[in-house]
Amino acid sequence: LETDDPISQQIVCILCSENTLFGMGNPLLDISAVVDKDFLDKFGLKPNDQILAEDKHKALFEEIVKRSKVEYHAGGSTQNSVKIAQWMIQKPHKVATFFGCIGTDRFGEILKKKAEEAHVDAHYYEQNEEPTGTCAACITGDNRSLVANLAAANCYKKEKHLDLDSNWELVEKAKVYYIAGFFLTVSPESILKVAKHASDNNKIFCMNLSAPFISQFFKEPLMKVMPYVDILFGNETEAATFAKELGFETDDIAEIAKKTQNLPKDNAKRQRVVVFTQGKDDTVATVGERVTMFPVLDIDQNDIVDTNGAGDAFVGGFLSALVQEHALEECIRAGHYSANVIIRRVGCTFPEKPDFH
């Protein structure tokens, strides 16, 4: 808040001091290009999906960089979200901390530079065994198919980074924690350490279902962390897959949210909040004992440039209000605003300042 009133100035600073928000995940460089159906078919991709790269996708990365209008953006789901949260807050800088692993290479340098430009306090674990991770965003119309080649991101080591005193002190400084489900494929032990710290100290730990494959193939580590999750995010597809994997026997999204809210929880002082986005349809959230629908902002189909990063942006906006201790309704409104901004632009990018009140 731009204000000369010392009292309100003080309130803003107290709630948003440096390192209040902590994120940890896979830092990736997004390589995005508009492709056609033939390209998707060639590599066996669904128009709207997120997957991890396999050997058969090697050629995809070589081909996509040769496309006429290829764009490079700093990405990675959690990193996107903390960046958007920082953008929404504006000042002070470095409210958001980010941990992840990169390579000692040109792409790694770009990620460092981009994090700095976004005023995020990024502390990367740097290693030279693997190159910095990349994510091919294959855009067709308003769909995006993401293929992540984790590479260095997959090399994050708890004992080599998170456990170091200077790094753990940053974790302890935070009040709100956010880790996308994608990081479960990399370092579940790091997630658990942070989640338990949050739970033991009555702080807020947030997580995201991230992609259907997480619930399908990483269900065990996901469910180990679930008792510590205070706020769970996901979209309608991820919610449906999660419900199926847990045998909820319903495809009603409100009911799935309720059943997810009622899963076992470690810190009984905080009731779990479940928030499911559904693209242009209402966002579904558990508010106390009720499940409430929150309509998203209207947007003309023609104004949608690229939905890549919409979910990350929603979470970022939500977190920006959460660290300022706003009510759930306000957090969702902030999430809807930032997602609405991001889908009008290529990649998870944003204008200089938000216009949100």
Query: Within 13 Å, how many C-alpha atoms sit on residue 253's CB side?
Result: 19
Burial string for 146-160 (b: 16+ CB within 10 Å, else e) reads: bbbbbbbbbbbebee
312 included as an active-site residue: yes
Residue with tokens 């731009």: 2
- Amino acid identity for residue 256 in this structure: I
With tokens 């709100």, the residue in question is 176
**Amino acid code (one letter) for 95:** V
Distance CA 208, CA 231 (A): 8
Q: Is the dihedral of CA 29, 96, 271, 293 positive or negative?
A: negative
Beta-carbon contacts of 346 under 8 Å, excluding residues fewer than 6 positions away, are 32, 71, 73, 305, 306, 308
Quick check: 15 and 323 in contact, CB under 8 A?
yes
Q: Which ranges constitute the DSSP H helices of the chain? A: 6-15, 37-42, 58-64, 77-89, 106-117, 165-173, 188-200, 212-217, 219-225, 236-245, 253-261, 310-322, 328-342
Distance, in Å, from the CA atom of 261 to the CA atom of 273, rounded to the nearest integer, reads 6
- Cis status, amide bond into 92, omega within 30 of 0: yes
- Give the active site residue among 30, 121, 230, 312: 312
Show which residues are catalytic: 312
